Amino acid sequence: MRSIDGAGPQALTLGQSLVLTRLLAVGLLVASAAAPAQSVPQTLAQINQALQSGQADKALALLQSLPQGGASIGDAQNLACRVHYAEQVWDQAATECQQAVKLDAQNAVDHDWLGRAVGAKASHASFLTAFSLGKQARVEFETAVKLNPKNQNALVDVGNFYQQAPGIVGGGTDKAQAIATQLDKVSPEQAQLLRANIAEGQKDYVTAEKDFKAAIAASAHPAEEWTNLASFYGRRSRFADLDSAIQSCETAAEKDPGIGLAFYDGAGVLIDVKRNPALAAKMLGEYIASSSKTEDGPLFEAHVRLAILKKQLGDIAGAQSERAAALALAHDYKPALELKF
């Protein structure tokens, strides 16, 4: 088993892809070369730490410093995939994850991440391409669950795929319900969230709300579950209920410093419904200042979102500062480069 698990246009080797995409990270490369020699596991741990803290340039520079070949190459491919995924470079993410799967076909985590990367690619592709990619994503998710039936992330991913995808690519409510039953033994709150999504997809909004609330009750750390309920209220235009759920999310997150991601996701809910930008900006600031940042809420993306909000609030200088902070972490992150003031 790997020591690190997870949470492009043209297939390249790991070394080639990292060199080509990070020629501008000269300072980091020089610093890495000048640093004392250390073990590969130490470097992989540093790369993962950089990924979790949103330092994409640093992560990729460290990856480039690894020796080619050897037992570490699969771990490196997986980490490279996840950095590109966080930066929304779907082609390159899929390429790197495909290489990781080729190196270790029995690794459930690699199959799950390949499914995510291919699925993201599909969501930005033409209909015919999306059809093919969607089927590939399903196969990867199913393989991940087959290899490790207790892998929570893989179960959630395949369950959401079944719930959202049309039958022609292998989706289906019955399949999603079966995954929810499997999740009951692994993560009761995730099982309830999946059931809520299934009910909402069937326009059974009463049951959906009940299941979203059941997920909150089942969780020992419910801040994230409150964001899901808030998002549901936003989709139903129940804004007073949304405001109450966001307040509960913020309260829960403040009491539980280990789940700062809820601030990021709560802000995302407010941004999606174009409501209370000042509160959304406050929540993003709390996430940026927290000690529990994660690749699920890339720090550079948090800065971009905050830049947009500050621009809306009339703080142009603040918006420019947030954009600069994003680019300092990921110098070619396209959404940051495209911001105009």
pLDDT of residue 53: 98
Q: Please, what is the average pLDDT of the chain?
A: 90
Report, as an integer, the average pLDDT of 155-166. Answer: 97
User: Which residues are CB-contacts of 111 (< 8 A; sequence separation ≥ 6)?
Assistant: 101, 140, 141, 143, 144, 147, 154
DSSP conformation letters of 149-186:
TT-HHHHHHHHHHHHHS-GGGT--HHHHHHHHHHHHTT
Residue type, 83: V
pLDDT-based confidence at residue 11 (cuts at 50, 70, 90): very low
Coil/strand/helix, residue 329 = helix
pLDDT of residue 196: 98
pLDDT-based confidence at residue 304 (cuts at 50, 70, 90): very high
Which pTM value belongs to this model?
0.87
Report, as an integer, the average pLDDT of 36-41. Answer: 74
Model confidence at 26: pLDDT above 90: no
pLDDT-based confidence at residue 37 (cuts at 50, 70, 90): low
| Residue pLDDT, tens place only, 216-239 | 999 999 999 999 999 999 999 999
Report, as an integer, the average pLDDT of 299-313. Answer: 98
Could you tell me which CATH class the domain 221-334 is placed in? mainly alpha
Between 53 and 34, the higher pLDDT residue: 53
Residue 84 to residues 6, 92, 180, 245, 304, Cα–Cα distance (Å): 14, 6, 30, 33, 17
Q: Which percentage of the chain shows pLDDT scores above 90? A: 84
Q: Nearest Cα to 155, choosing from 210, 108, 118? A: 108
Q: How many Å apart are CA 280 and CA 289, to the nearest integer?
A: 14
| Residue pLDDT, tens place only, 253-282 | 999 988 899 999 999 999 999 999 999 999
Model confidence at 6: pLDDT above 50: no
Between 145 and 258, the higher pLDDT residue: 145
pLDDT of residue 38: 73
pLDDT of residue 70: 67
Q: Which helix (H) or strand (E) segment is 58 a member of?
A: helix 56-65
Coil/strand/helix, residue 273 = coil
pLDDT of residue 127: 87
What are the structural domain ranges in the chain?
1-104, 221-334
User: Which residues are CB-contacts of 15 (< 8 A; sequence separation ≥ 6)?
Assistant: 64, 68
| Residue pLDDT, tens place only, 65-77 | 998 776 679 999 9
State residue 177 phi and psi, 5-degree precision.
-65, -40
